[in-house]
Structure 1
Amino acid sequence: MRLLSAFVVGLIFGVGIAISGMINPAKVLNFFDIAGTWDPSLIFVMGGALVTTFIGYRVVLRRDKPAIEERFQLPTARDIDARLVGGSAVFGIGWGIAGFCPGAAVPALGSGKVEVVGFVAALLVGLWVARLVQAKQAGRKAMA
């Protein structure tokens, strides 16, 4: 059931990203081009996501537990540290350069475009490198 629900949620997300046009990197890059070919549609996509999330959290968190899991898995960290700021900066720079964020790149794989495959490959390499760095840092802390 968990796998099926993950598939359905991913499918709905992917269809939404495709319908909104966010799998097109030019649309995203035009949002950042305020002095040129500015396209404000990304604001509406993000606004819709914020409203949906705001309402969804309030409805779902009224329940004692989720439908498929034993408990809710919500983030507990509230610190704004170098790791959070650095990761956000890398994400934003990559998004601004490529016009893709990971959420839009995965559904865009269906387009078969080489640049999408390259972006997703770079994303996977980046995730792998980040895990190596984290493991190395954890090893240093354990030795101290």
Structure 2
Amino acid sequence: MAETVRSPWFLPVIYVGGLVFGLGLAISGMARPEVVLDFLQFEDFGLLFVMGGAAVVTGITFAIATRSLNRAPLTGSEYTRRLKDFDRNVLVGGGIFGVGWGLSGICPGAAYASIGIGNYPILWSIVGMFLGAYAQGYWRTLRAGDAADGVESTAD
């Protein structure tokens, strides 16, 4: 397998992309939890247009890039489909994400942009995201250890 070589522009482009994303969220108002909660309560459909516009731009970009380039320009990786099984983890994770989104009125990416517009109480939600991610990683590590112990004991 050939080793991929990242472009020296990889990290700068990632940071600029993050800044543009955050700026877009701030300008569109999607970094304000009350706007997101209004969307979730079917009172303001602005978020639908923001997400729809992003999906269209992403779809067109991927369609053109995967047809005209044989490798990703920044990473040098080959374009391949990455499929994930639709399993219990996807359902549980999606449910937790949805509940967190509904309670805080903000998703993880927009939470960081929200700090940029002065919404410092959102830091509690970010702490919750980090604690949840840590707990999930810890739980999966324990499960992987239990599975490995079970495999070893059956081999004896």
Partner of 2:125: 119
Partner of 1:14: 22
Structure 2: runs of 5+ lacking an equivalent: 1-8, 151-156
Counterparts in 2 of 1:48 and 1:134: CA distance versus 1, 3 Å: same
In the aligned structure 2, how far is the partner of 1:89 from the partner of 1:107? 23
TM-score scaled to structure 1, two decimals?
0.90
Amino acid at match of 1:111: I
Match of 1:6, SS? Answer: helix
TM-score scaled to structure 2, two decimals?
0.84
Deviation at 1:56, TM superposition (A): 1.2
Structure showing greater radius of gyration is 2
Partner of 2:36: 28
Q: Aligned runs of 1:63-82 on 2, under 5 Å?
A: 63-72=69-78, 76-82=82-88
In the aligned structure 2, how far is the partner of 1:100 from the partner of 1:89? 15
Question: Percent identity between the aligned chains?
Answer: 34
Deviation at 1:76, TM superposition (A): 2.5
Aligned length: 141
In the aligned structure 2, how far is the partner of 1:101 from the partner of 1:72? 30
Tell me whether 86-95 or 59-68 shows the greater mean CA deviation.
Answer: 59-68
Amino acid at match of 1:90: I
Deviation at 1:112, TM superposition (A): 3.4
In the aligned structure 1, how far is the partner of 2:116 from the partner of 2:138? 30
